[in-house]
Amino acid sequence: MRIRILLPALAAAALAAAPAEAQPFRSDVTGPIITGSGVAGYPLVPIRDMEDALFRDVDGRTAFRNRAVADALLNAAAEAQRAACSGTLQPPRSWPRGVQLDREAQRIVCGLLARGLDRERVLNVLREGGPGRPGDAAERLVDALAGLGAVQTEFLGQRQQFIAGDRWQAAIRAYEELIDTAPDSLMDDPPAELVVIGVILVYAVDAGLRANEP
Amino acid sequence: MPFQPRPIVLLALAVLAAAPAAAQESAGGGPGSGHAAPRPARPVDECGRPAEPRQNRPRPQRRTPDPRPEPPLLGRPVAPQPSPEPAQPDPGVGTPPSDSTRPQEPGLPPVVPPGSPVETPVDSGAARRNRGLLRLRRPDAGLRLGPAASVSIPTAYGVDAGEAFFGVAYQGRTRYTRHDDAAAVIGFGIGTRRVLALEAALTTYSTFRGAPLETGGISFKLHRQLPRQSSVAVGWENAVLWGNSDDRGSLYVAGTRLLGLRQDPTQPFSTAVVTLGLGNGRFRFERDDAADRERINLFGALGVRVTGPVSLVTDWTGQDLNLAASITPIPRVPLVVTAGVADLTGEAGDGARFILSVGYGLSLRQPL
């Protein structure tokens, strides 16, 4: 009698378990991806982060990431400034052929970088002749660039191994913000001064980024 | 062996053949990025000609494109303004005296006096192109890591020559059991993703109940980077298996694209990674898998970068809906920790299960 009860019970239990038995178990592939680089996120498709490549925080101040970056960026900027001062600044090779840089604009930007001259004039151009807002990107850019080429090297860190980069960071931030937020009326035919500033920054930033690559 | 890869192999070959062979846009880059990234196309006007200065454009009248377009000039000429103090370049940097009376360069447009009533419509296309040209170069390699872009499915991104990875994965319990399980993987790449790269991964399964590599598999993924931070891949998971693995291998094709949701990548919700793919094997519906029907099924994933080091990821494996959070906890250290829940809906299995993985990416070429 017990067997007659037990057998159906066992059969019922087996049937109840059957769906699980029939299902694909696949324990090896039903967890996190473990058959490729997905387990490591997407580390090889990096996120844009120019500032992280060029700068670092040192005791609450912004410094160039390392000496190589500082040397490369500052040397490239000085070279570009010299070219602008002599009216021979050329656009980067990667730019479309035929782009010409206005010599007068080069002279004006040279004066701004070297001595902070023509500050209001450049600011007026970047604001398209409008009043602008105090502290807007155009003003911050001009403020950061004024006399930037004559700034004395300041060392940071306990061993004085880092070079201060506050002004350069401010200039790059303001420039990027201006490029991104300027009205189309300014950017569809950008003023020559802005183009010259952009060329100088492109040379400087490119050199700094290259120095950060092994 | 019920494994019949023919349909998906044909699909894979079609995907690879369709991939453009043009120069690839760098992974990190905007329009001004990277040595390998092409600069944006030269500014052109509405007729497709190289852009001329505004003063030379008889807008809105359209003209027939010239067979020999003039060189474009980016930047308006400087309008003479009365300046109380003429700018003197720093003599210390070798500045020649300025010559404001110098004639204009050939090809330069005429100087427009200030206040000139030249009203022209704004060319948004030219503005966008000029923005792209004037943006500073973005680094194109390994300067910050991204957390995971998928939980259980392969993305089309992969490693190439000089890059490697390793990681471990854990399931609180495996499907239809109360037993936990773990696995480990190590992999590397060859070739270059800008043309074609192969990722190979060696996985050891069931590490809690067996010796390392007692049960394991080798997986391959051919992948190629495409413009706009996207990639396509063809893969064969567990192409080689040994031991007591309960998997039988899966072929797939996948496409992945990184979408920039915000201009500033440090802002919350700045990027998202979308993956779509087709595969057989483990990507089939559970009923097809159980009945051993050779089918191809759709899988996909969406990873949204919530903050710089944190992403939320959901994916559909073809059987399970998974949800996880991923983090790169240490800045500039390529360590990725992903924790989540598998089979969230109980669609294929007996309820949600906790899953966890830890991975580490290496690059011998670039500092990650």
Q: Is the peptide bond before B72 cis (omega within 30 degrees of 0)?
A: no
Q: What H or E segment, with its residue span, contains residue B341?
A: strand B335-342
Give the mean pLDDT of A13-38: 69
Sequence-separated (6 or more) residues with CB below 8 Å from residue B180 = B170, B171, B172, B173, B174, B208
Cα separation, A110 vs A101, whole angstroms: 13
Best of B76, B151, B179, B310 to mutate (most A CBs within 10 Å, chain A) = B76
* pLDDT at residue number A180: 84
CA angle B46, B52, B56 (to 5 degrees): 100
Nearest beta carbon to residue A192 from set B77, B165, B326: B77
Q: Which residue has the higher pLDDT, B261 or A193?
A: A193
Write the DSSP string, B24-51: PPPTT--TT--SSSPPPPPPB-TTSSBP
Q: Do B155 and A82 touch (CB under 8 A)?
A: no
* Residue at token pair 């059957």: A18
Best of A23, A47, A181 to mutate (most B CBs within 10 Å, chain B) = A47
Cα separation, B155 vs B167, whole angstroms: 16
Q: Token pair for residue B144?
A: 């910050």
* pLDDT at residue number B29: 31
* pLDDT at residue number B227: 74
Q: Token pair for residue A88?
A: 């021979």
Least confident of B7-16, B291-300, B327-336: B7-16
Is residue A107's pLDDT more than 90? Answer: yes
Is residue B358's pLDDT more than 90? Answer: yes
Encode pLDDT of B239-252 as tens digits: 999 998 889 999 99
Is residue B7's pLDDT more than 60? Answer: no
* pLDDT at residue number B155: 94
* Residue at token pair 């701004």: A112
Do residues A118 and A146 lie in contact, with contact meaning Cβ atoms separated by under 8 Å?
no
Which residues of A are less than 8 Å from B329 in CB distance? none
Give the mean pLDDT of B317-342: 90
Sequence-separated (6 or more) residues with CB below 8 Å from residue B282 = A26, A29, A30, B237, B247, B250, B289, B317, B318, B319
Cα separation, B7 vs A13, whole angstroms: 41
Encode pLDDT of B93-141 as tens digits: 323 333 333 333 333 333 444 455 555 678 888 888 888 889 886 655 4
Mean residue pLDDT of chain A comes to 85
Best of B185, B261, B273 to mutate (most A CBs within 10 Å, chain A) = B185
Q: Do A28 and B107 touch (CB under 8 A)?
A: no
Q: What is the DSSP secondary structure assignment for residue B342, as one 8-state letter?
A: E
Calculate the alpha carbon distances from B301 to A4, B148, B234, B256, B268 in Å: 53, 11, 16, 9, 19
Cα separation, A62 vs A172, whole angstroms: 13
Is residue B181's pLDDT more than 80? Answer: yes
Nearest beta carbon to residue B28 from set A28, A48, A85: A48
Q: Do A43 and B336 touch (CB under 8 A)?
A: yes
Q: Which residue has the higher pLDDT, B7 or A85?
A: A85
| ipTM associated with this complex | 0.75
Quick one: pLDDT band at residue B74, thresholds 50, 70, 90?
low
Best of A189, A193, A199, A210 to mutate (most B CBs within 10 Å, chain B) = A189
Q: Do B361 and A28 touch (CB under 8 A)?
A: no
* pLDDT at residue number B282: 93
Calculate the alpha carbon distances from B52 to A103, B75, B77, B107, B120 in Å: 18, 10, 12, 10, 13
Write the DSSP string, B245-278: -S---EEEEEEEEEEE-SSSTTSTT-EEEEEEEE
Encode pLDDT of B9-42 as tens digits: 555 555 555 444 333 333 333 323 333 233 333 3
Q: Chain A: nearest CA to B9, how far in angstroms?
A: 19
Which residues of A are less than 8 Å from B72 in CB distance? 96, 98-99
Nearest beta carbon to residue A32 from set B96, B149, B338: B338
Give the mean pLDDT of A97-114: 92
A139 at interface of B, judged by CB pairs closer than 8 A? no
Cα separation, B186 vs B173, whole angstroms: 23
A46 at interface of B, judged by CB pairs closer than 8 A? yes
Q: Give the 3-state secondary structure of residue B160.
A: coil
Q: Considering chain B, what percentage of its residues have pLDDT values greater than 90?
A: 36
Distance in Å from the first CA to the final CA of chain A: 83
Encode pLDDT of B268-282 as tens digits: 887 899 999 999 999
Shortest CA distance from A201: residue in chain B: B136
Least confident of A30-44, B184-198, B237-251, B320-334: A30-44
Interface of A with B in 64-103 (CB under 8 A): 78, 81-82, 85-87, 91, 94-103
Do residues B206 and B244 lie in contact, with contact meaning Cβ atoms separated by under 8 Å?
yes
Q: Chain B: nearest CA to A7, how far in angstroms?
A: 25
- CB atoms < 10 A from the CB of B262, how many? 12
Do residues A76 and A204 lie in contact, with contact meaning Cβ atoms separated by under 8 Å?
yes
Give the mean pLDDT of A69-95: 94
A214 at interface of B, judged by CB pairs closer than 8 A? yes
Cα separation, B359 vs B326, whole angstroms: 11
Cα separation, B119 vs B86, whole angstroms: 30
* pLDDT at residue number B9: 52
Is residue B53's pLDDT more than 50? Answer: no
* Burial category of B89 from C-beta neighbours within 10 Å (exposed 0-12, middle 13-18, buried 19 and up): buried
Mean residue pLDDT of chain B comes to 72
